[in-house]
Structure formats: structure tokens, C-alpha cells
Amino acid sequence: MTELDMVIRLGLGFIAGAVIGLERASQHQVAGLRTHILIATGATLLMMLSIWLPQEFTAMKNGDPGRIAAQVVSGIGFLGAGAMIRLGNNIKGLTTAASLWLIAAVGLAIGAGMFLAAGLTLIITLITLVILNPIEGKLFPKERNKLLEITFNPDNPEIPELKECLHILQSFAVRVLSMDVAQGIGKGKEKGKGVRLHLFVGIPDTTDIAKLVTALKTKPKVERVEIKEKY
């Protein structure tokens, strides 16, 4: 491996990391431009080091160039875990964690001189992140898991009233994951009366929560509607 080869491969590693890093930074992810550049360039350097060591030291001709690469693949998992954030019952950052793992693989490929494979992988990655993202969003809208509480007035609601609320949720594409009914929630003179409906729901990001709450409150016996995180 010549010095020119080293310069070219490190430069390509830098460019590959910058391309994916810019896309992730545009989405305001925790791992952005600099993180992806450092990972891609570092993986490229380590792969070149794996190849260079047996060539430089004649006593190491039987060295395994894949040994350091295997450690890179294992070590990148720690950075990927740091890119994931738990928000209530939702996990954010899985795609970014996968992009970190992939850009490390691209860097290893560049370091090994597999320029065509690295270039094709980079193109596929951009198609996946840029083009397929809006398509996936339209076909499968992302959901936020919330706890929905509907409190009915002290006069025990009839079964049709409960069904109408569920129909409203269905019309807003809200998925009911679990449901629980608490009876006798009233206090004082109203003790022993009233019903509160606890629903663990999946609300699409495209849903207008204000309109959803307003629609539920139009029901005569609905006294209060509350949406909150479930931890």
C-alpha cells in the first residue's frame, strides 16, 4: 500500500462519512456530520492498519487483516446504543444507530480497497434515508404511545356512549392497545358514581390531537379528556 493509496482511501472515508452525516444532521439526530465523519475515517484507518501491519513486518505475514475489522464492528455497537433515546414507551434513534454501524462498514470497505462495494452501499444508504423515508411515512405513519383518560360525568354513561368514543378514536386512526374502566370515581355526594375510561393508545404523528380532544368532548356525558405519557 503506497502513501497515495492511504491518502485516497482516507479522503474517500471522509467523504462517505460526510454524505451520510449531512443527511442525519438535517434530521436533527444526535449523531450528525462530525460523528459520521469520525467513524468512517477511523474505520478506514483501522482497516488500512490491518492490511499494512503484515506487509510492513515480515514476521507477521500470516496476520489476519480481519481481526481489527471484527473489533470495529463490535465496538461501534456502543456508539449505536448512545444514539438511541427512550421517550416514554417509544424508542428514537434506531435509524441513526443503524447508519453508524453501516458507515463503519463502508469505512472498512474503503480501507480494504473495495471502492465499488463502498460506493454502491453509500448510494443504497442515501436512497433508504432520503427517498424511502417520506414513502414509509405515508404508507405507515409513525405512532406515539399515549395514555388517554376519558372521564364521564357522575351519571353513569350508557354503553352506546362508550362505543361512540371508541368510534371517534377509530375515525382519527388511533389504535387502542389496551383498555380499562374505573367505576365509582365520584367524590362527596357523587361518591360511587361516574366512570373513567383508561386507554393505552397509539396516536399517529399526523393526527391533530386538538381536534381529537374536541371531538371527544362533544359527547354530552364526557366531562374531561386527558392525554399524557405512560411511563
Return all residues near 185 (Cβ < 8 A) that are at least 6 apart.
151, 194, 195, 196
Shared domain check, 181 and 73 = no
Q: Write out pLDDT tens, residues 93-107.
A: 788 888 888 999 999
Q: Write out pLDDT tens, residues 169-213.
A: 888 888 888 888 777 665 544 555 667 888 888 888 888 888 988
Shared domain check, 165 and 68 = no
This prediction's pTM: 0.63
Shared domain check, 151 and 110 = no
Task: Report the domain count for the chain.
Answer: 2
Shared domain check, 110 and 191 = no
Which of 124, 139, 154 delimits the end of a domain? 139
Shared domain check, 200 and 133 = no
Q: Write out pLDDT tens, residues 124-148.
A: 988 988 888 888 777 777 777 888 8
What is the span of the domain harbouring residue 186? 143-228
Shared domain check, 179 and 77 = no
Shared domain check, 132 and 171 = no
Domain of 159: which CATH number? Answer: 3.30.70.260
Query: Which of 6-20, 155-169, 214-228 has the lowest average pLDDT?
Result: 155-169
Which of 139, 154, 178 delimits the end of a domain? 139
Query: Is the dihedral angle over the CA atoms 29, 30, 32, 36 positive or is it negative?
Result: negative
C-alpha span between 106 and 128 (Å, rounded): 15
State residue 110's pLDDT score. Answer: 92
Shared domain check, 151 and 135 = no
Shared domain check, 124 and 13 = yes
Could you tell me if 221 and 161 are in contact, meaning their C-beta atoms sit under 8 angstroms apart? yes
Shared domain check, 147 and 108 = no
Return all residues near 101 (Cβ < 8 A) that are at least 6 apart.
73, 76, 77, 80
Side-chain half-sphere CA neighbours of 179 within 13 A: 10
Shared domain check, 148 and 121 = no
Shared domain check, 208 and 160 = yes
Neighbours of 191 (CB within 10 A): 11
